Structure 1
């Protein structure tokens, strides 16, 4: 197989180490794309040297030939100097040894890929070997490697290995490639404390474990496994790249325990919320991150939040982050923070409003309870002692809560000319005493009055609103206003105040006519005592006038009832007389018919 074919077959997992400034380039450590590392590691200071120049030359001589033809010639030469046989001491175990010429030509490297090996062969006389390639075979178990104490690079990609074992004597190993095998558990790495690159992608691993002693490990590939969380990463203080693509991860842990981590790949997992990756945002050195393919990445503000939360991030989902984008994100976040502060202030203001209104309501209810017990003087003194009050304007409506809020009618109001004033938890007698203030030029635009929990009880209290000549709308809540229990209060208010709307209902012509028929005499009489020249007399004689009108209504009602009773008394006699007359007429008609016959 020529070099180009060899290179293509390893496009998703190839590892390449060079000597210049101890550079390690591992192309496509994840199996979805080629990821170059040389340019990233050249400018970084990530611990002690990994390979000597002698080690690197051995690796380069295998992985970096000058061309395809040279690679083909080299492999043909290796094969011609390589002898395969069976070990007499271990029947069934292949024995591989090279001729002195072949070993002298490449003393530190051996390529045994695609040899259909089911077990690791015994390598005769290869104590100086530094690189061993066994990929694309059918090896099920790691064995017969104990003599290779100088080995620094071991590639077992695409085999059938189910357990990591047999590596205890390989303390010099720097790169271990075990991608695309059948491994279920991370173990057997205790003696590999100097390991620099570990590739375990494409296995069946569910838990990250037994890695905390690898303090020199810089690249870890666990893509394409069955991992559900990232607990077990702590201790790898030199790790600069971690690939966890295509797992089943829902939560990220311990990323902030990796102080040197620069590149983190989490694409195509099951991460849904920003709260699931909190430790990622706390990572001190992270510069490249991928989260595409997660439900989280579908969020509309995903990129903005990630750029904002990970301060040193330069690449997100393979897309570079420019300084202009960072500036836009900062501006957006500042605007959102301002909006959030405004919303919080509005929420606090709303809470204070509700608290104050609740306090006013409780005070009013306590005073109303005293009033129901007949302790009127104490109730008035309590009302005057009210300290809680609240004033607000909502869409042109001036809301007054508590007795103290009535001072607003004296001072300049919240709005220059309110069109609607609503009174809440204020005794109506106190409101009525200030209604004359609402007839001044300041309130010429006043059209509506709302009365909520003000103890409005009598018809004559409604008369006091007639001083507001521009009033055409009235709202009286059923809560805290006894007058609403009277069946005809609306009709009286319609006539007395000439209303267009009452309690949010438009007054129809039929309602106006009915109300006028019922209360026009009473209203006319009441108006006689409310002219400016007779206000004092009206105040003294109001009850007498109302009583007189009530007596007139009572007289009419009694007259109608007397007529009804008289009719009920005469009805049986009238009915008996009518029946007798009908019977007599029938008898006469029958006698006449009989005579004709």
Structure 2
């Protein structure tokens, strides 16, 4: 490569050439790094989108299967669309069922990235159930100690529960748990979090977690996890007064529900005999129609 000997009528020294070369290399490295970061961001975006599609397909397949089971149990054995025992569909163009199409699409997605693990500052992001396997890695003490927040997205909560013992061992300083699209549907599911050492903050995203539609879900969390002295739930500061109220309120509800359940069980035991006695008394009372009619008429007269 030819070298420039003069610039603006001045002789170009070796030092100037060396400095220019260093600057050019730095610019090239900067461009490469920028390009690398752009590629990583795009790969992250595509992976998250893929995980989201797989999550959606899984739940659509599950919903369709549930609906089919419900319809099968409610409908007669004979298909109304079939006549004379024929097994040909009334709509031949729809022979491929929707659930099989979704299943095939789900299998097609499995060949691409189906989970993502990202450590950003003090937050560990886990996308897709496959990301839970990262808890089996040999994390360095320094890296593991940095993690104070763990975010779960597109992972069944019941699967997360199974790795909670690993979580508290691998990341002892994790005090904030985030759940988004984790299929939290029942208050009882929060009970599993009690096995952790400590939780200061809990964030349950409404997206993909129907449990937040319950009016008392925060009350139940503060009651069930009261030993953690929770500081924030969904970003809201929780005071001592509110925690005390939640504890008393839920305890009263539990007590009332327990009493109702005891009465219900007692009634279930007594009801067969009570029913027999009611039927027996009714039969005896109405055995003589004339006397029964007179008795009823007398009761009506007395009421007047």
Structure 1 position 491, deviation (Å): 2.0
> Is 1:508 equivalent to 2:211 in the alignment?
no
TM-score, structure 1 normalization: 0.33
8 Å contact 2:4–2:12 — kept in the other structure? no
The C-alpha deviation readout for 1:313-342, integer Å capped at 9, x for no partner, is 6223x6654332222121111112112211
The match for 2:48 is 357
> Could you say what the CA RMSD is over the residues aligned between the two structures, in angstroms?
3.4
The match for 1:408 is 134
The match for 1:483 is 211
Change (3 A) 1:508 1:550: farther
The C-alpha deviation readout for 1:552-580, integer Å capped at 9, x for no partner, is 9xxxxxxxxxxxxxxxxxxxxxxxxxxxx
The C-alpha deviation readout for 1:275-320, integer Å capped at 9, x for no partner, is xxxxxxxxx99xxxxxxxxxxxxxxxxxxxxxxxxx526223x665
The C-alpha deviation readout for 1:80-99, integer Å capped at 9, x for no partner, is xxxxxxxxxxxxxxxxxxxx
Cα separation, 1, equivalents of 2:216 and 2:152: 23
Cα separation, 2, equivalents of 1:521 and 1:439: 32
SS state of the match for residue 144, structure 2? coil
The match for 1:390 is 116
- Structure with bigger helix share is 2
8 Å contact 1:426–1:454 — kept in the other structure? yes
Change (3 A) 1:343 1:520: farther
Number of residue pairs aligned between Structure 1 and Structure 2: 219
The C-alpha deviation readout for 1:364-415, integer Å capped at 9, x for no partner, is 0111223333539999xx79x9671111111122211111111122333473
Cα separation, 1, equivalents of 2:217 and 2:173: 26
The C-alpha deviation readout for 1:508-533, integer Å capped at 9, x for no partner, is 3343233223223467x7xxxxxxxx
Change (3 A) 1:369 1:549: farther
8 Å contact 1:439–1:467 — kept in the other structure? no
SS state of the match for residue 191, structure 2? helix
Cα separation, 2, equivalents of 1:323 and 1:353: 45
8 Å contact 1:401–1:426 — kept in the other structure? yes
The match for 1:314 is 6
Structure 1 position 424, deviation (Å): 1.1
Q: Which structure has the higher relative contact order (CA within 8 Å, separation 6+)? A: 2
Q: Where do residues 133-144 of structure 1 align in structure 2 (5 Å cutoff)? A: none
Q: Where do residues 14-53 of structure 1 align in structure 2 (5 Å cutoff)? A: none
Cα separation, 1, equivalents of 2:64 and 2:253: 32
The C-alpha deviation readout for 1:187-237, integer Å capped at 9, x for no partner, is xxxxxxxxxxxxxxxxxxxxxxxxxxxxxxxxxxxxxxxxxxxxxxxxxxx
TM-score, structure 2 normalization: 0.62
Structure 1 position 344, deviation (Å): 1.0
8 Å contact 1:472–1:497 — kept in the other structure? no
Q: Where do residues 340-355 of structure 1 align in structure 2 (5 Å cutoff)? A: 340-355=31-46
Cα separation, 2, equivalents of 1:511 and 1:471: 17
The match for 2:276 is none
> Is 1:548 equivalent to 2:279 in the alignment?
no
The C-alpha deviation readout for 1:31-52, integer Å capped at 9, x for no partner, is xxxxxxxxxxxxxxxxxxxxxx
Change (3 A) 1:336 1:550: farther
Structure 2, unaligned runs of 5 or more: 70-98, 263-304
Structure 1, unaligned runs of 5 or more: 1-283, 286-310, 526-545, 553-597
Among candidates 191, 198, 201, match of residue 470 of structure 1: 198
Structure 1 position 450, deviation (Å): 0.9
Task: Flag the structure with larger Rg.
Answer: 1
Change (3 A) 1:319 1:504: farther
The match for 2:154 is 425
Structure 1 position 496, deviation (Å): 1.6
Structure 1 position 547, deviation (Å): 5.5
The match for 1:142 is none
